[in-house]
């Protein structure tokens, strides 16, 4: 297995994985802060966590990633994929609903990658803040949700997710303990630094 095969397999199966330009931006952050502990919400088939771990290990970082996935079939696929990359000592897949799993985790993380249910982003943010320290970075992918977040008109189907994504943006931009920028790359990436 190589990373291109894993990526193409996910795309063929219509599994939404982190986009190339978003990944490049995240790589810059990984290079800069060298996180040893990462929490990812939304594993899918393990593509993003395998990319992050590979990048960090190549930069001599002894990284540990906890990653949560609701869909049991995808989580098991991720576990297999992680094994085939020999990364099972670095990446721990937790099968379950992040909303239920998160309150039971009491660890500090250097980096969070929020990439699961858009309607739960404000809850995920509160949990990430609880497990953050000064200098932690919280990344939220799909924050602009195909442009719907910036649009006045949204179909009923998207409205709840859009409202929660807007709430997330408000939370990270009005909290004076946080510094946030939102990049219009991929499907939108919010980068939040915890200042204290
Ligand atoms: N991070 C992955 C990557 O780039 O390779 C892609 C993740 S995909 C965008 C979102 C995943 O989140 C899906 O596999 C979905 O099953 C999972 N998910 C959705 N809601 C969730 C929840 N409440 N808890 C955990 N996982 C969830």
Q: Judge if the beta carbon of residue 11 lies within 6 A of ligand 1.
A: no
Tens-of-pLDDT digits for all 196 residues of the chain? 899 999 999 999 999 999 999 999 999 999 999 999 999 999 999 999 999 999 999 999 999 999 999 999 999 999 999 999 999 999 999 999 999 999 999 999 999 999 999 999 999 999 999 999 999 999 999 999 988 888 877 777 788 899 999 999 999 999 999 999 999 999 999 999 999 8
Q: Which atom of ligand 1 is nearest to 101's Cα? A: 24
What whole-number distance in Å separates Cα of residue 111 and Cα of residue 92? 15
* Topology adopted by domain 3-194: Rossmann fold (3.40.50)
Closest-CA residue to 118 (of 151, 149, 167, 161) = 161
Q: Which atom of ligand 1 is nearest to the CA of 99?
A: 23
**Cβ 117 under 6 angstroms from ligand 1:** yes
Residue 23's pLDDT is: 98
CB 102 within 8 A of CB 88: no
Is pTM, for the whole model, over 0.75? Answer: yes
């Amino acid at each position: 297995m190589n990373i291109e095969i894993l990526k193409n397999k996910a795309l063929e199966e219509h599994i939404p994985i982190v986009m190339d330009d978003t990944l490049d931006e995240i790589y810059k952050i990984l290079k800069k802060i060298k996180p040893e502990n990462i929490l990812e919400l939304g594993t899918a088939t393990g593509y993003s966590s395998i990319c992050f771990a590979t990048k960090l290990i190549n930069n001599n970082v002894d990284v540990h990633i906890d990653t949560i996935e609701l869909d049991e079939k995808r989580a098991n696929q991720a576990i297999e994929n992680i094994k085939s990359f020999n990364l099972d000592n670095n990446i721990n897949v937790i099968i379950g609903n992040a909303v239920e799993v998160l309150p039971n985790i009491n660890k500090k993380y250097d980096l969070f990658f929020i990439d699961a249910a858009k309607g739960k982003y404000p809850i995920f943010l509160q949990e990430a803040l609880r497990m953050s320290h000064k200098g932690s970075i919280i990344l939220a992918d799909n924050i602009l949700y195909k442009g719907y977040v910036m649009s006045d008109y949204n179909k009923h189907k998207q409205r709840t997710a859009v409202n929660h994504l807007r709430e997330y943006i408000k939370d990270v931009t009005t909290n004076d303990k946080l510094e946030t920028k939102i990049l219009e790359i991929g499907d939108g990436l919010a980068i939040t630094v915890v200042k204290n």
